[in-house]
Chains A and B, each alone.
Chain A
């Protein structure tokens, strides 16, 4: 059974810092991996999706990397801003090799990020 772990559980940084959020997963047979952002009381917003054949994806100040063989992904946020404060969730999508995943995502517990001015 796939398990996804995110470290740290919470992170507080001053504005302008570069930071790294970590995600690890136990089963490397994944189809792809997604990073989401969740604001308090809201749903999830997809930030980046990395296919299993890719090493990284970039969007603006965000860069996500994937090392499938070691079961790890990182989300790098450059020049953090107070508006980046949110919970960041990592989710892995099981491989369709078994024919039953149908896009099933397994989520980590999230990292609560606070960027203070």
Chain B
């Protein structure tokens, strides 16, 4: 158990809908990362937050947004869902210490199915 929790485990929804994925980082970790894993693209970085502020953006669609709250939990919002958004969404957290390789601890993921 990595200490990172994600809810829900599974989500089934229809095209055009909006969903929210939730992540609670490990105790003490200030940095949260979101990744998308699909069969054709593999594991891809979406966005990073550090202590409530957005730090880096990857291949995140404009229909997707995220935020990190004062208690450090994070939410990933996916809107106008398309079939191609079906994937595993992982959250990872880290203490983000400069000068050292930042070990990211991954949650168990949320499996999103868009029908």
Query: Do A and B make up one complex?
Result: no
